[in-house]
Amino acid sequence: MNATEVTPGIVCFSVNIQDMLFEGIWPMPHGANMNSYLVKGDKVALIDGVCGWDGVPENLLGQLTELGVSVDDIDYVVINHMEPDHSGWLDAFKKLRKTFTIVTSAKAVPLLEAFYSLKDQPVKVVGDGDTLDLGQGHVLAFAEIPNVHWPETMATFDTKTGTLFPCDAFGSFGNVEGPAYDDQLSPEQIKSFEKEAVRYYSNIVAAFSQPTAKAIEKVEKLLGDQLKIIAPGHGIIWRRNPGKIISDYKRYASYQKGPAKAEVTVIWGSMYGNTAMAVPTVIRTLKESGLKVNEFRVPEDSLGDILTACWTSTGLVLAMPTYEYKMFPPMAALVDELGKKKLLNRHVFRLGSYGWSGGAQTELDEIMRRHKTGWRFVTPVEFKGRPTDADLELIEKRTRGLAARVHYAILKADHRR
Ligand SMILES: Cc1cc2nc3c(=O)[nH]c(=O)nc-3n(C[C@H](O)[C@H](O)[C@H](O)COP(=O)(O)O)c2cc1C
Ligand SMILES: [Fe+2]
Ligand SMILES: [Fe+2]
């Protein structure tokens, strides 16, 4: 655990986590980082906790002692978000400190009881417009930001320093080695966190893009230029340019409905290599048309990587054979997941090999209807067995059609902006 000063009166405790699947599903190739914050007035508040906080009591006690703070000085524990990555440390903290007041939203109260049996714990319920005066000018103000990412989520704002604690919002994946603040990082390091922010957003927050967009609007309206620092629950802290992560997050949220970037993600699966034979034609044609291409194979490549690429792509190509009268199963699972994440309005081309009946399209249509994806398809190309030269020509032509649609969608959106 690392303790750093965010600004006078506020300390960040941060912990890196790795070699685990986030939410039990999502690989984190570059790890992740968890932040907890201490705000010190006459009273002391600890805002959110961290998972992977091995040996919480010893670690926390050690850090507090170094800061000249006793655990008994902690009066309030603010829970912005009940997901156990931030609240799971409560069990350990309870053993350290018998009397403290939890400050949280009304919707979090039954969850506190259900997850941590915190029945007799003093709880101060706060909502929009409520404040908590810690003394020495640190007045915490609260705003409900439901469904970023659970229904009970709120954000906390320290009015003295202009620091916003939005928990999951504005977070990114990636271990934080060394400097944890945007003003201490090189442009290259900021760029690599940007990639990790897209991974975090697309894997964890994506399905809640509309509530996230609303929350950003609400926070901007409430705080205006009072907002100086963004101190999220995951990733780096934005002190020099909080506007950057705000505009990045707005853009990520807007990608849900498309168009996104001038990119096409090509995902293919193949049992015996027949569908695979058509993939190079697709990729070459897309590249020739000036689009960035992300290529993945199912089931070999990770769902997290594929989702990250799809989120920033305006176009998709799905290449898969028919399997037992349906889509190749790992492709069906992937497309279903993209639908659940509400990846909407993409321009899509489907192709693939079949033996005697086909059937992949029926299942794809069913998934599209179920998730109301609004995906717009160019006419699919199915071929029997290996693709013939004529099949490949047609695939090239349809891929060009897809590329044109992608370029046009982006041009149209740029024109509107
Ligand atoms: C387990 C299995 C199930 C299949 N089910 C169907 C089917 O229901 N309908 C069909 O037209 N072809 C079916 N096929 C044939 C494949 O779609 C065909 O062999 C195709 O060329 C495979 O493409 P690939 O080499 O890209 O995997 C099946 C093949 C296998 C191995
Ligand atoms: Fe969360
Ligand atoms: Fe989180």
- Per-residue pLDDT tens for 376-417? 999 999 999 999 999 999 999 999 999 999 999 999 998 877
Residue 314 C-alpha to ligand 2 middle, in angstroms? 27
The rounded mean pLDDT for the chain is 95
User: What is the best residue among 267, 268, 271, 395 to mutate for testing ligand 1's pocket, by most ligand atoms within 8 Å of CB?
Assistant: 271
Residue 277 C-alpha to ligand 2 middle, in angstroms? 41
Structure tokens of 368?
């599209």
Residue 79 C-alpha to ligand 1 middle, in angstroms? 52
Q: Nearest ligand to the C-alpha of residue 329?
A: 1
Instruction: Quickly state the pLDDT bin for 120 (edges 50, 70, 90).
Output: confident
Q: What's residue 56's pLDDT?
A: 61
Residue 167 C-alpha to ligand 3 middle, in angstroms? 7
Please list the helix, strand and coil fractions of the chain in percent, rounded to the nearest 5, in that order: 40, 25, 35
Q: Nearest ligand to the C-alpha of residue 326?
A: 1
Q: Nearest ligand to the C-alpha of residue 151?
A: 2
Strand 32-40 and strand 10-17: the pairing is antiparallel
* CA terminus-to-terminus distance, the chain: 44
Structure tokens of 114?
């259900």
User: What is the best residue among 297, 324, 357 to mutate for testing ligand 1's pocket, by most ligand atoms within 8 Å of CB?
Assistant: 324
Residue 244 C-alpha to ligand 2 middle, in angstroms? 21
Residue among 44, 64, 63 at smallest CA distance from 138:
44
Mean pLDDT score, 100-119: 93
156-195 as b/e: b if 16+ CB within 10 A = bbbebbbbbbbbbbbbbbbbbeeebbbeebeeebbeebee
Give the residues surrounding ligand 1 with Cβ less than 6 Å away. Answer: 270-276, 321-325, 353-359, 385
Total length of the chain: 417
d(CA 144, CA 231): 17
- Per-residue pLDDT tens for 308-362? 999 999 999 999 999 999 999 999 999 999 999 999 999 999 999 999 999 999 9
